[in-house]
Amino acid sequence: MIKLLIAEDERITREYIKFVIEENRLDVQVVEADNGLEAVALAREVQPDLVIMDIRMPELDGLKAGKIIKEEMPFTKVVILTAYEHFSYAQSAIKARLDDYLLKPVSPRLLMETIENQMKGQINYNYDNRRFDDILRLERDLIEAMLQKNDSVARAGVAAIFEGYGRRDSDLEDLKNYLIELTGVIMRRLRADDVSNRLMTERKVDCHARIQELDSVEDLEEEMTAFARDVIRLAVDDFRSEKEKNIHKALAYIADHYQEKVYLTEVARHIGYSSSYFSRLFKEITGKRFSDYLLCYRTERAKKLMDNYQLTLGEIAVKVGFEDFSYFSHVFHKVVGETPSHYRRHLETTK
């Protein structure tokens, strides 16, 4: 049985489509939505094989809703309904990679032909509806593993998809088309989670070229495993780079504000992290605790002011953010190995 979602704000149109289906005794399970947001929510819930959707609906128009459905459920066919005066929208539907469009008023014959054509396309892959649902579940598991950057689970996910698809009885060209579409879905999800970059896009293009060249199911599985591994590695590198960039922002903030009172909480807030996460990350990236780094930085700034003999040691302490001279002297001795006064005398003798 094919699952059909009718998304149309005019009830009479929904009833008309259902009437045509019943009259022709199609084995179709119908669910209905009367706005775009409801259509997307229902599609996520029931995973329809085919969506017939009006292009102009409240809440969310058909083009946007159809695009979301295709991105999340690439095997779902989406057919757009549009009036003659809105024919330009149909061209937009094609550009959005939706599957077909119908001009209102649509005849029963044309409606039936469209539904039957889309149904045929839906079963071109050589697995039944149960296996189709299983494949979708395996895809979601694979994508989740890649988002979690879990290489071993992702490798197992690729193997499970090939097992579910059928290593032996698969049509090679169908399988290649499926894998190309799957890599596209993976990349769109990764972009949505902000772990995409130019190198990832290049890897996807390379994967598509390799898929077209390969001539065995085993080689295709090996390429997909390599693709998952490489994309996870790039995602990890990208994530690490983003963390390092944010810590550099924190270091720049310290450099700008070290003369003032500087608190870990305010620096964490400045870069958008919680205090506890920022504290752990700062130590991981710099090798020092935040408080130790701040004291060392202030001490280094103090050393640069030592040869300005117009400043007293007390004034230097204040300039680098210490309110208490005795504490400044204690920190300076701990970091440099000698007191501020000894350090300054040493500078005088070496001139």
| Domain range enclosing 14 | 2-122
CA distance 21 to 17: 6
140 and 162 co-located in one domain? yes
DSSP letters, 52-66, are EEESS-SSS-HHHHH
Last residue of one domain, picked from the residues 64, 87, 122: 122
Indicate whether this model's pTM tops 0.75. no
Contacts of 182 (CB under 8 A, 6+ apart): 74, 139, 161, 224
Domain boundary among 191, 216, 238: 238
Tally of structural domains, the chain: 3
> Do 199 and 302 belong together in one domain?
no
3-state secondary structure 89-134: HHHHHHHCCCCEEEEECCCHHHHHHHHHHHHHHHCCCCCCHHHHHH
Whether 134 and 118 share a structural domain: no
Residues 44 and 134 in one domain: no
| pLDDT tens-digit profile, the chain (351 residues) | 678 999 998 888 889 899 888 888 877 889 999 999 999 999 988 888 899 998 888 888 888 898 888 888 877 888 888 764 444 554 555 545 667 777 777 888 888 888 877 666 554 443 444 455 556 677 777 877 777 777 788 888 888 877 766 554 456 777 787 787 777 777 766 654 444 456 666 676 778 788 888 888 888 888 888 888 877 777 666 555 677 778 888 999 999 999 999 999 999 999 888 888 899 889 988 899 999 999 999 999 999 999 898 999 999 999 999 989 999 999 999 999 999 999 998 887 776
Please report, for the domain that includes residue 260, its CATH number.
1.10.10.60
CA–CA distances in Å: residue 263 to residues 169, 281, 332: 64, 16, 20
Same domain, 111 and 35: yes
Residue type, 174: D
Asked if residue 148 and residue 39 are part of one domain, the reply reads no
| 57 and 75 fall within a common domain | yes
112 in the same domain as 41: yes
Residue found under tokens 């032996």: 168
Residues 264 and 338 reside in one and the same domain: yes
Is residue 112 located within the same domain as residue 83?
yes
DSSP designation for 306:
T
Shared domain for 229 and 133, answered yes or no, is: yes
Domain match, 260 and 321 both: yes
From 178, 212, 238, give the residue that closes a domain: 238
- Looking at residue 58, what is its pLDDT? 83
SS3 content of the chain, % helix, strand, coil (to 5): 70, 10, 25
Biggest distance spanned by C-alpha atoms of the chain: 105
